[in-house]
Structure 1
Amino acid sequence: MSQSQRQPDSAVVQNSADSERIPPRLIGAIVAVGSLAFIGILTETVMTVLFPALMREFNVDTATVQWITTIYLLSVAASMPISSFLKRRFRLKAIFLAAVALGVTGSLIMIVAQAFPLMILARIIQGVGSGVATPLMINIILEQSPRSKIGRLMGVGSLVITVAPAIGPTVGGAVTSVLPWRAIFVGAVPLMLIAAVIGCICIEQRTPTEDAYLDPVQLCLIVLALVGLVLALNQGGVAVSAAVSGGVTARPGIIAVVSLIVGLGSLILFAKTSQRAFSPLLRLGILRDPAVLLHAVAYLLLPLVGIGYGYVITNVSQLSLGTSAFVAGSLVLPGALIGAVCAPVGGWFYDRFGAVKPILIPLGIAILGPVLMLVFSMHLTPGLLAGFYFIFGFFYAIGNANVMTSGLSEVPHEFRPDGNAIFNTCLQFGGAAGTALFSTVLTVAQAGAGAEGTPRFAHATAVGGAWTFAVMIVICLIGWGCLASAFRIRARRGAIKV
C-alpha cells in the first residue's frame, strides 16, 4: 500500500477517535444539571432520617410525616412527563435555570417554614425543580455522548444522583446533632447557585427547538393519575391501621377508594387521549414493544425497594433498636456510598459485555440483602442492618444503573426523549409509592402498640420491619423476572449480546 493510501486511512482513524472522546464541557453539563437532582434527593433522604424528630415537632404520626418525602417524589414524578415537551420547546439552559429557580425557592421556604403544610408546599416546589433537572441530564447524555461511551456516562449520571442517598441520612444525623435541621437548606442554596454558574458555562444546545404544544388536558390527567394512585395507597394504609387499632376507618377508606378510581380512570383517559393527539405529551406507543414495557415495569418496581430501603432501616433502627438519628443515618452510608461509586462500573460492564449479565447477575445477588433482613428480622443489630444493606446497595447500584440504558436502546432515536420521560416517571413514582407502601406497613404494625419508646412499640416496629422485608423480596423477584423476560424477547430477535 502506498503512502498516499495510508494517510487517508490514518485520518479516518484519527477522526473516529476524536468523535469518541468525551468533551470536558459535557462532563461539566452533566455535573451541573445532576447537582440539582443531587441536592433534591439529598434533602429528601436527610428528612427521612429526621422523621421521628419531625413527628414530635409537628405533632404528626408516621403515616403523615412520610408525606414530606412522598410529596417530593410525587411532585418529581408529576413533572417528569413534561420533560419531552420542555426539551422540544425550550433551550436547555432556559430549562436548567428554571429548575435552579424552583430549587432555590423551595429551599428558602423550608428555611422559614413553621407549619407542616408550608413544608409540604416547599417540597412540592423542590420536587418540580428536580423533576425538570433529572431528565434534562439524561437527555444531554443521550444526545451528546459518543456512542461507545453512553453506558459509562449514564453511570456517571447515576453517580451524581445516587451519591445523595448515600450521604443523606448521615448528613441529616450529623448536622442535626450540632445545628438545627434547617441549616441543611441554608447550605443547599449556595450549592445550587454554584451549579447554575457551571451550567451556564457548559451546557450546549446541539438541536434546534420546535413549536411543540402542551395539551393541558393530558397534563392534568397524568398528574391526577399519579396523585390519585399514591394517595389511594397512603389512605388505604391509614384505613387499615385505624381498623387494627379500633379507630374510625370510614374517612380514610372513602378517600382511598375515590383516589384509586380517580387515579386509574385518569391513567386510562390519558392513554386514550395520547393515542388520538397530534402532539401527545408522551408518545406511549413505544410501550407497545414488550421488551421496552417490561424494562419500564422493572424500573417502576425496583425503585420501590431501592428508595424505600433507606427509610425502613433508619426508622427501624431508631424506633425498634433505639439508636440516635446520627447512628441510624450512618447505617445506610456504607452500602449506599459504595453503590453510588460503583454505578459507573456498572455502565462500563454494560459497554463491555452487553445488557444481560451486567443487569441480571448483580440484581439477583442484591435480593440476598432483604432475604437476610427477613431471616434475622427479630434479632437485628445496627451492625447487621448496615451489613445486609451493604450487600443490597452494592449489587443493586451496579445492575439498576443499566436498566434504563438497556430499555432505551430499543427505542428509536427520535422518541428517546419520550422514553426518558416515561422511565424517569416510573423511577420517581416507584420511589413515592415505595415510601408510602413501607411507611403504611410500619404504621399498621405499630397500630395499638402504645407510645413511642416503649418495649411494646419497639417490638411492633420490628415486626413491621419483617413484613416490609418480605414485601421487598416479592417486589425484587417480580422486577427481576420482568427483566429476564425482556431479555428473552430481545434474544429471540438476535439483538443483544448474551
Structure 2
Amino acid sequence: MKQYNTKAIMASLLICGFVGMFSETALNIAITNLMEVFHITAATAQWLTTGFLLTLGVLMPMTGLLLQWFTTRQLFVFSLASSIVGTLVGALAFNFEMLMVARVLQAAGMGLLIPLMFNTILVVYPPDKRGAAMGFVGLVIMFAPAIGPTVAGLLIEYLAWNYIFWLSLPFLIIGLLVGLKFLENVTEVTKPRIDVLSVVLSTIGFGGVVFGFSKAGEGDGGWTSPVVIACIVIGLIAILLFALRQLSMREPMMNLRVFKYPMFIMGLLLVLSCMMIILSSMIILPMYLQNGMKLSAFTAGLMLLPGSALNGILSPRMGRLFDKYGPKWLVIPGLAIVGAMLWFFSGITPASSIAFIVALHIGLMVGISMVWMPAQTNGLNQLPPELYPHGTAVMNTLQQVAGAIGTAVAISILTSGMEKYLHSSPAPNEMNEIAKAMTFGSQHVFLFAMIVTLIGLALAFFIRRVVVQHRAMHPSH
C-alpha cells in the first residue's frame, strides 16, 4: 500500500470542508437581517438555503463520475476556486441576486469537496483506521454548522452580515495552499463514458424532489400547491427512470449495485434518519428559541453551541470506539438516547429553563454522534474498492434529499400546528398566544423526529459489523 502524508492531506481537506459547512449555516441566522437589507420576503430569503441544497442535490449524483474523470488535485482545485469566488462575490454582494449567485458557487464547491473528502479517506486509510478518520470528518461536518450561527450572531451584532464571508475567505485560501503542496492524486482516472441521458434524468430527478419539498415548506399553498406536486411527481418518475437506466448500463454514472450489500443499505438508512432528525430539530429549535421564548439570535446560537461542539468533539472518539468494538454497541444506545431526548423536547414550553433545553440538546447531539459515523463507516466498509466513489455518491446525494424532506416536513408540521392553535384561540394576534402557538407546533415537530428515531432504532437491531476482506469480488458476509 502506497504511503501518503495523511495528516497534511486531511488538514487541507478539513480546513476547506470546515469553512464550507460553516458558511452553509452561518447565513441562516442572518436571514432576518437580510430581509430588511434587501427588502425581500421570508419566502425569497429561503432561497439562499433552498438554492444551496438544490445545487448540492444536482451535483452530488455526478460526483461518482467526476471522481473517475478528473484527478484528485484537479477536483480539489476546482472545488476551492468555486468556493473562493463564491465567498468573494458574497462578501461584495450589494443585492439579493448577487448573494444568490454566491450561494450557488459556494454550494458547487462544497458539492465536490465533501465526496472528494470521503473518497480520499477510503483510499488513503486502511480499514482499521477508517473509523477514526471518518470521525474527524464528522467533527467538521457537525461542528462547523454548529458554531456557524453563534459566530454569525456575533458578527451581525457588531459588524455586518457580509463579514460572514470576509471571515471565511482567508481560511479557504490557506486550505487551497496546503492542498496544493501536499494533496496527491489518490484515485486513478478511468474516464468512463458520460451518458447524457443519465445526467439529465438525475438532475431532473434529484433536483425536482429537493425543489418540491423545499417549496412545500415555504407555506404558500404548501403541499397542495400544483408546483409542489408536479415537482415531486416528475422528480420521482425521473429518479425511477434514472435507476432503471443505471442498472442496464455497463458503466453506470451512479452504480446502484452498491444496494446489493445489506450493511451498506442499513448504514444508509441510519444516516438518512439521522439527517432528518438533525435538520428537522435544528431548524425548529433556533426558531422556537427566538420566537417562542423571545431570546436573541446570539443567545439562541450560544445555547446550541455546547451540544453541537460536543457532537463534533466526540465524533473521532466514536470512530475509534467503532474501530474497536463495531457498530452495534454504539448505534443502539445512541438511538435510544436520541429518542428519549426528543420525547422530553416534545414537552418544552416557554417556561422551560434554558439549562434544561441546553441539557436536552447536548443529549440529542451525543446520541447522534454515536449513530452517524459508525453506521456510515460500517456501510461503506462492506463495498469493494471500485464501488467507493459510487457508495459515497449515493450516500451524499440521498442525504441532501433527506435533509430537504426533513426540513420541509418540519416546517409544514410547525406551520399547521401554529395555524390550528391560533384558529381556536380567542386572541390570535397577541404575542403571548403566538408564542404558545409556536410551542404547540414545535412540540409536534419533535414528536415527528421521535417517530423517525424509533424506526431507526428498530432497524439498528439488525446491524452487523462488516469484516473487510476485499480479495473476493462477491459481497462478503
Q: Note whether the superposition's TM-score is higher than 0.5.
A: yes
Task: For 1:456-467, list aligned pairs within 5 A.
Answer: 456-467=433-444
2:191 pairs with one of 211, 215, 218: 211
2:74 pairs with one of 90, 94, 106: 94
Structure-2 residue corresponding to 1:425: 397
Structure-2 residue corresponding to 1:354: 326
Task: For 1:114-133, list aligned pairs within 5 A.
Answer: 114-133=94-113
Structure-1 residue corresponding to 2:271: 299
Q: Is the 8 A contact 1:70 1:435 kept in 2?
A: no
Closer, same or farther in 2 for the Cα pair 1:84/1:52, shift >3 Å? Answer: same
Work out the CA distance in 2 between the residues paired with 1:130 and 1:180: 24
Q: Letter of the aligned partner of 1:350 in structure 2?
A: F
Question: TM-score, structure 2 length as denominator?
Answer: 0.90
Closer, same or farther in 2 for the Cα pair 1:484/1:118, shift >3 Å? Answer: farther
Deviation, structure 1 residue 264: 0.6
Deviation, structure 1 residue 99: 0.5
Deviation, structure 1 residue 305: 1.5
Q: Does 1:80 align with 2:57?
A: no
Closer, same or farther in 2 for the Cα pair 1:200/1:277, shift >3 Å? Answer: same
Q: Does 1:281 align with 2:253?
A: yes
Deviation, structure 1 residue 274: 0.6
Task: For 1:118-157, list aligned pairs within 5 A.
Answer: 118-157=98-137
Structure-2 residue corresponding to 1:394: 366
Q: Is the 8 A contact 1:311 1:435 kept in 2?
A: yes
Work out the CA distance in 1 between the residues paired with 2:429 and 2:101: 28
Q: Deviations over 1:241-289 (max 9, x none)?
A: 55xxxxxx49961101111211111110100111122321110012133
Deviation, structure 1 residue 192: 0.5
Q: Does 1:476 align with 2:453?
A: yes
Instruction: Using the TM superposition, name which of 54-63 and 34-43 deviates more.
Output: 54-63
Structure-1 residue corresponding to 2:140: 160
> Which consecutive unaligned segments of at least 5 residues does structure 2 have?
468-474
**Equivalent position SS for 1:485:** coil
Bigger radius of gyration, 1 or 2?
1
Q: Does 1:40 align with 2:11?
A: no
Closer, same or farther in 2 for the Cα pair 1:42/1:81, shift >3 Å? Answer: same
Deviation, structure 1 residue 338: 0.5
Deviation, structure 1 residue 103: 0.6
1:455 pairs with one of 407, 410, 432: 432
Q: Is the 8 A contact 1:319 1:453 kept in 2?
A: no
Deviation, structure 1 residue 296: 1.5
Work out the CA distance in 1 between the residues paired with 2:103 and 2:413: 23
Q: Is the 8 A contact 2:331 2:375 kept in 1?
A: yes
Q: Is the 8 A contact 1:292 1:408 kept in 2?
A: yes
Q: Letter of the aligned partner of 2:64 in structure 1?
A: S
Work out the CA distance in 1 between the residues paired with 2:369 and 2:325: 17
**Equivalent position SS for 1:50:** helix
Percent of pairs with identical residues: 25
Q: Letter of the aligned partner of 2:78 in structure 1?
A: A
Q: Letter of the aligned partner of 1:428 in structure 2?
A: Q
Question: TM-score, structure 1 length as denominator?
Answer: 0.86
Q: Is the 8 A contact 2:348 2:439 kept in 1?
A: no
Q: Letter of the aligned partner of 1:211 in structure 2?
A: K
Q: Is the 8 A contact 2:67 2:187 kept in 1?
A: no
Q: Deviations over 1:281-322 (max 9, x none)?
A: 110012133432232222222111123332221111111111
Q: Is the 8 A contact 1:319 1:452 kept in 2?
A: no
Q: Is the 8 A contact 1:237 1:444 kept in 2?
A: no
Work out the CA distance in 2 between the residues paired with 1:76 and 1:483: 28
Closer, same or farther in 2 for the Cα pair 1:290/1:145, shift >3 Å? Answer: closer
Deviation, structure 1 residue 455: 2.4
* C-alpha RMSD of the superposition: 2.7
Q: Is the 8 A contact 2:264 2:380 kept in 1?
A: yes
Closer, same or farther in 2 for the Cα pair 1:345/1:125, shift >3 Å? Answer: same
- Equivalenced residue count is 465
Structure-2 residue corresponding to 1:405: 377
Q: Is the 8 A contact 1:377 1:465 kept in 2?
A: no
Deviation, structure 1 residue 236: 3.4
Instruction: Using the TM superposition, name which of 437-446 and 472-481 deviates more.
Output: 437-446
> Which consecutive unaligned segments of at least 5 residues does structure 1 have?
1-18, 243-248
Structure-2 residue corresponding to 1:180: 160
Structure-2 residue corresponding to 1:202: 182
Q: Is the 8 A contact 1:371 1:469 kept in 2?
A: yes
2:346 pairs with one of 370, 374, 398: 374
Q: Is the 8 A contact 1:54 1:65 kept in 2?
A: yes
**Equivalent position SS for 1:40:** helix
Closer, same or farther in 2 for the Cα pair 1:234/1:160, shift >3 Å? Answer: closer
Q: Is the 8 A contact 1:38 1:161 kept in 2?
A: yes
Deviation, structure 1 residue 64: 4.5
Deviation, structure 1 residue 117: 4.1
2:299 pairs with one of 309, 327, 333: 327
Work out the CA distance in 1 between the residues paired with 2:148 and 2:101: 21
Deviation, structure 1 residue 428: 2.6
Q: Is the 8 A contact 2:277 2:452 kept in 1?
A: yes
Closer, same or farther in 2 for the Cα pair 1:350/1:467, shift >3 Å? Answer: same
Q: Is the 8 A contact 1:166 1:333 kept in 2?
A: yes
Instruction: Using the TM superposition, name which of 254-263 and 104-113 deviates more.
Output: 104-113
Q: Is the 8 A contact 1:235 1:253 kept in 2?
A: no
Q: Does 1:26 align with 2:6?
A: yes
Work out the CA distance in 2 between the residues paired with 1:112 and 1:121: 12
2:355 pairs with one of 383, 399, 405: 383
Work out the CA distance in 1 between the residues paired with 2:88 and 2:169: 8
Q: Letter of the aligned partner of 1:480 in structure 2?
A: L
